[in-house]
Amino acid sequence: MTVRKAVIPVAGFGTRFLPVTKSVPKVLIPVLDHPAIHFCVAEATEAGISEIIFVVSRGQEAIAGYFEANPVLEAHLAGRGDDDRLRELHSINRMADVTTVVQEEQRGLGHAVLMARDKVGDEPFAVFLPDDIIRSEDPTIGAMIRIHEERDANVIAVKQVPDSAIPSLGIIDPVAGAGDVRRVKGMVEKPALADAPSDLAIIGRYVLTPQVFDAVARAGEGALGEIQLTDAIAALIDDPGVYAYRFPGDHFDVGTPVGMLKATINEALGRHEMRDELVRWMDTELKTRVT
């Protein structure tokens, strides 16, 4: 069965981005001129996903507002004949059918995904973690959906990471072999470096079978005392199976200010109207400031 729905957990305090996150949800902080959440939703819809389910904390309802029409603003742009901006706003309004569910308490990523159970129903679905932006020609989630369709199993995106990153990520134990798609025989959330089964970390894209909901409901508290999605997926390794996909393209962790800055610079370098000015400025700054 094909994948029509995506769950995007966006709840949380965004403490690494305080003080801006006092009043702005973290996923609305811009990467240049689009909120970070735009990139996940665009990746989903490019891959044919038509329904987005945001799992929000109370008070974060503004997130869905970004994908809704703003008639006053649109009338203003139409009056000025600003067709390019108007076209972009219309395309955002039409991107997907967006709904939200509220996660009343923060009990971990697995728990957040479980909140979307009724809206997903009994069908495979995608999960996006909006801290991870992946820029690649072929949308990563689209490639993962194809792997899911071939194997009727769960699929997670992975990337090789340095040792220093291992204790803060989910790490997989793949079966021996080469290639971009490998079966997974173990997974552990935030292991100590000495216990890590590999250097392949889970990055925030998943295609999951609906059995994962029962697995989350059964999972106890894992790493950090939270209900971990990794532990629930690990329970599906034998049946119906879990595959890891090493995706091509550039990955940005926009969950930290420096990662957000890198994603923003990357975006600006791709815009012909600002690229030259930015490069000239950076060149001068680097020569005068970096010793």
Q: How far is the CB of 183 from ligand G1P (least distance, A)?
A: 18
Compare residues 10 and 63 and give the one whose CB is closer to ligand G1P: 10
Question: Which residue number places its CB atom closest to ligand G1P?
Answer: 170
- Say if residues 210 and 113 touch (Cβ distance below 8 Å): no
- Say if residues 221 and 175 touch (Cβ distance below 8 Å): no
d(CA 180, CA 248): 9
In this chain, which of 98, 143, 202, 254 binds ligand G1P, going by CB under 6 A? 202
Phi and psi of 176, rounded to 5°?
-60, 150
Q: How far is the CB of 6 from ligand G1P (least distance, A)?
A: 16
Chain centroid offset of residue 188 CA: 19
Compare residues 192 and 286 and give the one whose CB is closer to ligand G1P: 192
Site size toward ligand G1P, by CB under 6 A:
14
C-alpha dihedral sign at 1, 134, 247, 173: negative
Q: How far is the CB of 253 from ligand G1P (least distance, A)?
A: 7
Residue 183, classified by CB atoms within 10 Å of its CB into exposed (0-12), middle (13-18) or buried (19+), is middle
Compare residues 124 and 255 and give the one whose CB is closer to ligand G1P: 255
In this chain, which of 37, 144, 201, 254 binds ligand G1P, going by CB under 6 A? 201
Binding region for ligand G1P (CB under 6 A) out of 90-98, 146-154, 205-213, 227-235: 227-235
d(CA 139, CA 120): 22
Per CB under 6 A, which of residues 114..153 are in contact with ligand G1P?
Answer: 129, 131-132
Q: Does 203 bind ligand G1P (CB under 6 A)?
A: yes
Compare residues 29 and 169 and give the one whose CB is closer to ligand G1P: 169
In this chain, which of 3, 109, 236, 254 binds ligand G1P, going by CB under 6 A? 109
Tokens representing residue 249 in the block? 């393209």
Q: How far is the CB of 188 from ligand G1P (least distance, A)?
A: 9
- Say if residues 243 and 154 touch (Cβ distance below 8 Å): yes
Phi and psi of 99, rounded to 5°?
-130, 165
In this chain, which of 47, 126, 169, 232 binds ligand G1P, going by CB under 6 A? 169
d(CA 184, CA 154): 10
Per CB under 6 A, which of residues 25..64 are in contact with ligand G1P?
Answer: none
Per CB under 6 A, which of residues 172..191 are in contact with ligand G1P?
Answer: 189
Q: Does 204 bind ligand G1P (CB under 6 A)?
A: yes
Task: Indicate the SS3 state at residue 136.
Answer: coil
d(CA 212, CA 150): 19
Tokens representing residue 245 in the block? 């996909």
Q: How far is the CB of 129 from ligand G1P (least distance, A)?
A: 5
In this chain, which of 60, 154, 209, 230 binds ligand G1P, going by CB under 6 A? 230
Q: Which residues pair with 35 in a beta bridge?
A: 30
Tally of CA atoms within 13 A in the half-sphere of 52 that contains its CB = 33
**Binding positions for ligand G1P, rule: CB under 6 A:** 109, 129, 131-132, 169-170, 189, 201-204, 228-230
